[in-house]
């Protein structure tokens, strides 16, 4: 990577804090951690599509998933100055309603404390107690202001159980807008397993991760657009994982389908005041650069703008299959895409590598 004084910021990087790992070890339903004899190695099983009797059941889980010093080692190895860490999927989606408030407080405090161990190097996206209901969620959002290192929240696509176009989420979106906490939107559930066909187990995690994740994000954000969330909460800021799934590529088609929809017209939803998909991409949406190719990154840049792209790694996911202590190809590919699309050492590439994140997330101590 380029030698530069401008910081490199990783905004897509996960942890499972030690207390969350202990919870996962106590479970036998997704999400869980256990070994599968004869092997004694622990495996993390989180995705609906990976809980199958095959070698693709989960993934090995080592200290890089929960030990914050490993995160910093990884940052140093890959020339990353600052990381904005987030609890990895499936967050607290599965926590019983009665336990949600305490679970979120515990995790957010723990993550905030971990950040405090490395001043100036670690910030975080908090986790919301979604299963706890509106009041509990709003209370946690307001508490987040007192946590020094929190710069936004990470959110999956289910919301309160009915997706992100649920009108009951509007007060939550307003609270996040007013607290100036951007939402980092991240997939987890993919698409129904039936779409992967009878031979899905032969293909490891490729179909759910390469296709299910991006489609899930695209569908979630499109439903928000169709529900008029960005007209009703005009300053809401969303950072979309994996360069928006397929949103940059499909934005034109989505916009055209909206403009040609007789039902939307009859409902009076096409008139003045509607924000187009393109306007939303340039006003409310930021895209991470976790897309692993110049082709995808160019689409993201064209859709949202050079000032709205943010570098990420997805650590600790996608380690090399061998030689874990080496430089990770998954990270280098994202660096190379930025240099290929925006040049090395240019103002635009420095912005994508860190400047945009510092500005949008106010990454100063
Ligand atoms: O490899 C995976 O399953 C994942 C995951 O679950 N979450 C993520 O952020 N990246 C990869």
Q: Residue 3 has what pLDDT?
A: 43
Check if the interface score ipTM surpasses 0.90: yes
Q: Does residue 47 line the site of ligand 1, with CB under 6 A?
A: yes
Residue-wise pLDDT tens digits, 141-184: 999 999 999 999 999 999 999 999 999 999 999 999 999 999 99
**Which has the closest alpha carbon to 226: 247, 255, 250, 262?**
255
Q: Does residue 46 line the site of ligand 1, with CB under 6 A?
A: yes
Which atom belonging to ligand 1 lies closest to the Cα atom of 318? Answer: 1
Q: Residue 53 has what pLDDT?
A: 78
| Region 108-133 average pLDDT | 98
Q: Give the chain's largest Cα–Cα span.
A: 64
Residue 3 belongs to a domain: no
Residue 110 belongs to a domain: yes
CA atoms of 322 and 326, how far apart (whole Å): 9
Tell me, what DSSP letter sits at residue 168?
G
Domain that holds residue 230: 9-361
Q: Residue 292 has what pLDDT?
A: 98
In contact, 330 and 318? CB cutoff 8 Å: yes
Cα 179 to the center of its chain, rounded Å: 19
Q: Residue 2 has what pLDDT?
A: 42
Q: Does residue 140 line the site of ligand 1, with CB under 6 A?
A: no
Residue 2 belongs to a domain: no
**Which has the closest alpha carbon to 185: 104, 247, 276?**
247
Residue 281 belongs to a domain: yes
**Ligand 1 centroid – CA 57 distance (Å):** 13
Residue-wise pLDDT tens digits, 186-224: 999 999 999 999 999 899 999 999 999 999 999 999 999
Residue-wise pLDDT tens digits, 22-59: 999 999 999 999 999 999 999 999 998 888 877 678 99
Q: Residue 4 has what pLDDT?
A: 45
Residue-wise pLDDT tens digits, 105-115: 999 999 999 99
- Look over the chain and give the mean of its residue pLDDT values, rounded to a whole number: 95
- Residue 225 has phi, psi (to 5 degrees) of -60, -45
Tell me, what DSSP letter sits at residue 300?
H
135: domain CATH number is 3.20.20.140
| Region 122-134 average pLDDT | 98
For the chain, how many structural domains are there in total? Answer: 1
In contact, 218 and 186? CB cutoff 8 Å: no
Please give the structure tokens belonging to residue 104. Answer: 């979120």
CA atoms of 79 and 8, how far apart (whole Å): 7
């Amino acid at each position: 990577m380029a030698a530069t004084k401008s910081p490199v910021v990783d905004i897509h990087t996960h942890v499972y804090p030690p207390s969350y790992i202990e919870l996962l070890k106590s479970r036998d339903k997704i999400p869980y951690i256990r070994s599968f004899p004869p092997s004694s190695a622990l495996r993390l099983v989180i995705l609906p599509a990976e809980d199958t009797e095959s070698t693709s059941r989960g993934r090995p889980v080592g200290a890089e998933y929960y030990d914050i010093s490993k995160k910093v080692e990884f940052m140093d190895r890959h020339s990353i100055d600052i990381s904005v860490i987030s609890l990895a999927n499936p967050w607290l989606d599965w926590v019983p309603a009665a336990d949600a408030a305490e679970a979120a407080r515990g995790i957010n405090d723990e993550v905030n404390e971990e950040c405090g161990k490395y001043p100036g190097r670690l910030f975080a996206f908090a986790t919301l107690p979604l299963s706890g209901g509106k009041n509990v969620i709003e209370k946690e959002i307001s508490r987040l202001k007192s946590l020094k290192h929190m710069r936004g929240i990470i959110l999956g696509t289910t919301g309160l159980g009915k997706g992100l176009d649920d009108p009951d989420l509007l007060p939550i979106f307003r609270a996040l807008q007013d607290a100036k906490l951007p939402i980092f939107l991240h997939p987890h559930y993919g698409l129904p397993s039936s779409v992967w066909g009878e031979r899905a187990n032969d293909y490891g995690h490729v179909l759910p991760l390469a296709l299910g994740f991006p489609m899930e994000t695209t569908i979630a954000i499109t439903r928000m657009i169709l529900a008029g969330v960005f007209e009703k909460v005009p300053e809401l800021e969303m950072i979309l994982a994996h360069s928006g799934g397929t949103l940059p590529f499909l934005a034109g088609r989505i916009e055209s389908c909206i403009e040609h929809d007789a039902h939307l017209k009859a409902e009076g939803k096409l008139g003045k005041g509607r924000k187009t998909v393109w306007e939303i991409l340039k006003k409310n949406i930021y895209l991470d650069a976790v897309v692993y190719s110049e082709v995808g990154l160019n689409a993201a840049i064209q859709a949202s703008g050079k000032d709205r792209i943010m570098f990420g790694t997805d650590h600790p996911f996608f380690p090399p299959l061998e030689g874990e202590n080496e430089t990770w190809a998954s990270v280098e590919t994202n660096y190379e895409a930025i240099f290929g699309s925006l040049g090395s050492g240019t103002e635009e590439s420095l912005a994508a590598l860190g400047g945009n994140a510092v500005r949008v997330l106010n990454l100063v101590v």
